[in-house]
Amino acid sequence: MKASTLAALFDLRSVIALLFGVYGLVLTVLGLAATSPADLEKAGGVALKLWTGIAMLVLAAVFVLWVWLRPPVVPSASEVADAESRPGH
Amino acid sequence: MGIMVLAQTDLRLDVSTLDYVLVAFYFVLVLGIGLIARRSISSSLDFLLSGRSLPAWVTGLAFIAANLGAIELIGMTANGAQYGIPTVHYYWVGAIPAMVFLGIVMMPFYYGSKARSVPEFLRMRFNPTTQRVNAVSFALASVLIAGVNLFSLGLVIEALLGWPLQVAIPLAALVVLSYTFFGGLSAAIYNEVLQFFVILALLIPLTVAGLARVGGWNGLKERITEVGGVEELSSWPGTTLTEIPNAFLSVLGIVFGLGFVLSFGYWTTNFAEVQRALSAKSMSAARRTPIIGAFPKALIPLVIVIPGMVAAVLVPQLTTLKAGGESDVTYNNSLSLLMGEVLPNGILGVAVAGLLAAFMAGMAANVSSLNTVFTYDLWQDWIRPGREDAYYLRVGRAVTVIGCVLAIGTAFIAGSYQNLMDYIQSLFSFFNAPLFAIFILGLFWKRMSGTAGWTGLVSGTLAAIVVDVLVRTGVLAVSAQAGAFIGASAAFVFGIAVAAVVTVVTAPKPEAELVGLVWQLTPKESRRHETTGDDAGWFRSPVLLGGLVLALTVLLYLLVP
């Protein structure tokens, strides 16, 4: 596998974490600060923004943890050579 | 699933500035992924097949997201609202067995042959004519279906946000074009993974809030029973779904029509799906791709069918429609009506992003599989062979642009037909059923000749078209749904019969050319995959994972017998 592809994969996990980190933060803050009675009634009494926000933060944390525990490895020279010699390359 | 007829005043969502900001942030990331993926492209294989380098969790989620498009999301909530629990057949019997079969039985041949596309595999097993017949019809279907996805997207933007169709359609095409143009298949696949999570961020809060409003699962069951919809609460025999009054025949129709011919035809031969597995980094990862995708596929009806059922008891316009009264909405509006009914601002922004993501997922899958088939199978193998790789990379990029422009055209054509979505769905399954027939025959019957390949394909498709015409002119008095089942079955049977007859009168291919392409001629060792390094561990065994997901499906069926 090529180093550039690995870097892109690293970016994908991080991009997912970034998206849900930001969404989660916005919704959690909104849920804490601005849950109106009308909002509660709409969602059948569930503090939907707060709970969705927290769930998103957890998802973001899982992806950050994954990247942290399994960082993308830069392949050694022999692995690069293997990849280059495969059919289709 | 008819085209959505959206009444403007009813459906306009109360979207705030914050919601728009959340949607905009998602689009920034989508385009960012296109630019990131661009760095890793140096050859046509990188652009069109991601350099065969992606890990199984990425290809597996993309495998599902490519299918979790607009038609799926809107159509299946509509079915949930109209038929209730029997809709789960589309997910369980109608997808899981075929996905496991693709991973365990067929992937060793697909991936092992190093074919870059389904048509290329057909050239190896049969002959160039079979490749060309399949490539041309696939390219045509892709452009038409991309147009339907784009048109539905434009309709939703128009209805929910109030933007005119003439602005919404080209704008949406431009977004899909910009990331697939720069990043090729990698960008499409990476975005599909992101889309998968964003779509869930729409569906899960929607289900939670919807269920809370009707008093939980038991409350929902009570309210459905009150209006006399008991048959909506169990999956079998599903007579309302099939419109076959006899319970036994209805079960037979679901298991063989939906579960075998339509489902195996779609999941095992549709290149927009198979392409995701072919871009995996190893044989083991390729085999696990559809099986990893099968797990979310088995669970997704919980957050698609249930919201549909909730919408049908909660939204006044839909309750009226269900009771047989006059209503200015159709079942296809269920999803957006429920979004407006239960989601507060903030979540609504996430939900709109999820809905737009679903539409783009569908169209990007069509465009990225179209450019691979066009570049490799039509351009490189037929019209302009023997150029350097950089030339084909340029062709791939050009086809991406042309495909998107054509999709804008077919989107406006789609707008002029009320029933085009139905029509294309059936066209597409007609084209998949004969393909599956010759695939299976060619895989297990080494005598089958090259000429039998394309004659079987063409005659199967013709048989399906004849059935379609008979159903639509009323000569064959069945519902459109039953008509699709019959058409697909006819295509399958007729395709096999013609291929068998033609094989008998033509010369077989030499056995040496069929090694790795036919079951009996492929040594068992070469069907196996590596079990070292990234592919090591019992939890990465495709057979074990396949067994687990089948068990999960049986368990789910036991919950709603």
List CB contacts (< 8 A) between B53 and chain A: 1-2, 5, 83
**Interface with B, mutate which of A52, A63, A78, A89 (most B CBs under 10 A):** A52
Q: Give the pLDDT of residue A66.
A: 87
Query: Which member of A1, A35, A48 has the closest CB to residue B53?
Result: A1
Q: Give the pLDDT of residue B303.
A: 94
- pLDDT (mean) for B450-466: 92
Residue A84 to residue B516: CA distance in whole angstroms: 23
On average, the pLDDT of chain B sits at: 84
**In chain A, how many domains are there?**
1
Q: How many CA atoms lie within 13 A of B156 on its CB side?
A: 28
Domains in chain B with CATH codes: 8-37+53-416+535-559 (1.20.1730.10), 419-529 (no CATH)
Q: State yes or no: ipTM above 0.95.
A: no
**B127 neighbors B133 (Cβ within 8 angstroms):** no
Whether A20 and B201 lie within 8 Å, measured CB to CB: yes
Tell me the residue range of the domain where A45 lies: 3-85
**B354 neighbors B260 (Cβ within 8 angstroms):** no
Instruction: Please write down the HEC assignment for all residues of B391-440.
Output: HHHHHHHHHHHHHHHHHHHHHHHHHCCCCHHHHHHHHHHHHHHHHHHHHH
Residues sharing a CB contact under 8 Å with residue B37, sequence separation 6 or more, in sequence order: A8, B179, B182, B183, B184, B186, B187, B190
Judged by average pLDDT, the poorest of B41-45, B75-79, B109-113, B136-140 is: B41-45
- Alpha-carbon torsion, ordered B404, B405, B410, B411, to 10 deg: 70
Query: Which member of A49, A87, A89 has the closest CB to residue B347?
Result: A49
Q: Give the pLDDT of residue B455.
A: 95
Higher pLDDT: A76 or B34? It is: B34
Residues sharing a CB contact under 8 Å with residue A30, sequence separation 6 or more, in sequence order: A49, A53, B18, B346
Residue B107 to residue B424: CA distance in whole angstroms: 27
Q: How is B467-504 classified by DSSP, letter by letter?
A: HHHHHHTTSS---HHHHHHHHHHHHHHHHHHHHHHHHH
Residues sharing a CB contact under 8 Å with residue B254, sequence separation 6 or more, in sequence order: B89, B93, B94, B237, B238, B241, B242
Q: Is the dihedral of CA B480, B462, B266, B176 positive or negative?
A: negative
Judged by average pLDDT, the poorest of B49-53, B317-321, B436-440 is: B49-53
pLDDT in tens, B536-557: 777 788 899 999 999 999 999 9
**B165 neighbors B158 (Cβ within 8 angstroms):** yes
Q: Considering the entire predicted model, what is its pTM?
A: 0.86
- pLDDT (mean) for B288-294: 94
Cα distances from B401 to residues B142, B178, B370, B395, B397, in angstroms, run 14, 9, 11, 10, 7
Whether B39 and A1 lie within 8 Å, measured CB to CB: no
Query: Chain A residues within 8 A (CB-CB) of chain B?
Result: 1-2, 4-5, 7-9, 11-12, 15-16, 18-20, 22-23, 26-27, 30-31, 35-36, 38-39, 42-46, 48-49, 51-52, 55-56, 59, 83, 86-89
- pLDDT (mean) for B341-354: 85
- Return the bridge partners of B280, or none: B54
| Omega before B237 within 30 of 0, i.e. cis | yes
Q: Residue B174 has which token pair?
A: 């431009």
Residue bearing tokens 């159903």: B471
